[in-house]
Amino acid sequence: MYKIVKREDLAPNVHLFVIDAPAVAKKAQPGQFLIVRNSERGERIPLTIADFDRAAGTVSFAFMEVGKTTREMGLLKEGDSLATFVGPLGEATHIKKYGTVVCVGGGFGTATVSPIARAMKEAGNHVITIMGFRSQSLMFWEDKLRDFSSELIVTTDDGSYGRKSVVTEPLKEMLQDPARTVDLVVAIGPAIMMKFVSKTTEPFGTPTVVSLNPIMMDGTGMCGACRVSVGGKTKFACVDGPDFDGHQVDWDLLLARQKIFIEHEKRALELWQCQACREQNS
């Protein structure tokens, strides 16, 4: 069992767990992910590493309460334990000195951009971070990302904080600015956001790395559930990724596959909520 040594509520329904896992922390790298399970009979879900501390032997991940499994996870407290905590999995983000690196984080994906931005800055890059949220009430880690960034831009859909826009608008302005050179873009967040970041950078020929989080079960390449099409070839996100060239991803196929189990997920959540209500009223 893997103990939750710290729980941080980042925003409504968005949480960060710090897990006591020395063996995982020892080998963790920015961009890698975990397979997590609440209980022995629970669902296995992939979550990208948000931070790691080798000295303390801890690994952190962020998640948003969406369906049954993440709602159950949201009930866990400091001192509780996870039944399964497997990692680090996947290929790490390639860190080196590129020049100017723009890190784009959308929603709770901002948490997983953090270790990449930090590593890129430590490698000597000029790091520009763009954080995008629907509203100020959903924001988190502005100060933390500012520490890892040479420049920081915050956008909100409703204009409640920072710039009222989506993340692609300031990104496009940078790419169009003749006084700037962007050598690499790294985007992590909802698939639709990563798609449009990739579409924005493609005409400029700017290398763009995206972190894909498709349906996944074992996380070791055996089940094939996480297959994605990249450059016309089938890849497994768990072993070939999760990082891929955003210009080569078949985004329409990825988005369609993400919807396959929506009705099953809704039904599972409804049944769980009904059971929870019965237990509460009994």
Question: Residue 34 and residue 39: Cα distance in Å, rounded?
Answer: 15
pLDDT for res 264? 73
Are the C-beta atoms of residues 31 and 80 closer than 8 Å to each other? no
What confidence tier does 269 reach under pLDDT thresholds 50, 70, 90?
A: confident
Q: Tell me, yes or no, whether 95 lies in a domain.
A: no
Residue 88 has a pLDDT of 94
| Same-domain pairing of 171 and 220 | yes
- For residue 280, is pLDDT > 70? no
* pLDDT, mean of residues 69-90: 93
Residue 204 has pLDDT above 70, yes or no: yes
What percent of the chain has a predicted confidence (pLDDT) above 70? 97
Q: What confidence score (pLDDT) does residue 277 get?
A: 64
pLDDT for 117 = 96
Q: Is residue 49 part of a domain?
A: yes
Of residues 255 and 60, the one with the higher pLDDT is 60
Among the ranges given (41-55, 174-188, 194-208, 215-229), the one the predictor scored with the smallest mean pLDDT? 215-229
- Overall number of domains in the chain: 2
Same structural domain, 125 and 223: yes
pLDDT at residue number 271: 78
Based on the fold, state whether residues 67 and 116 are members of the same structural domain. no
Helix axes of 191-201 and 168-176: crossing angle, nearest 10 degrees: 10
Q: Domain for residue 64, yes or no? A: yes
State the pLDDT confidence band at 176, using cuts at 50, 70 and 90. very high
Task: Identify whether 14 is part of a domain.
Answer: yes
Which pLDDT value is given to residue 202? 98
Tens-digit pLDDT profile for residues 214-239: 777 777 777 778 889 999 999 998 89
Give residues with Cβ within 8 angstroms of 84, minimum separation 6.
Answer: 2, 35, 36, 37, 42, 44
Q: What is the CATH number of the domain that holds 199?
A: 3.40.50.80
pTM greater than 0.75 (yes/no): yes
> Quick check: is 278 in a domain?
no
Mean pLDDT computed over 272-279: 69
Pair 121, 238 in one domain: yes
Residue 254 is assigned to a structural domain of this protein = yes
274 is a domain residue: no
Domain annotation covers residue 161: yes
**Is 145 found in the same domain as 8?**
no
Q: Say if residue 248 is in the same domain as residue 125.
A: yes
What's the burial of 84, exposed, middle or buried (CB within 10 Å: 0-12/13-18/19+)? middle
Q: Are residues 198 and 128 in the same domain?
A: yes
CATH number at residue 32: 2.40.30.10
Whether 84 and 106 map to the same domain: the answer is: no
Co-location of 211 and 126 in the same domain: yes
Instruction: Out of 89, 111, 139, pick the residue that ends a domain.
Output: 89
Statement to judge: residues 21 and 145 lie in one domain: no
Residues 68 and 165 in one domain: no
Q: Do 39 and 141 fall within a single domain?
A: no
Compute the mean pLDDT over every residue in the chain, rounded to the nearest whole number: 91
Distance CA 232, CA 238 (A): 18
pLDDT at residue 270 above 80?
A: no
CB atoms within 10 A of CB 83: 14
- The parent domain of residue 8 ranges over 2-89
pLDDT at 1: 80
Out of 32, 62, 89, a domain closes at 89
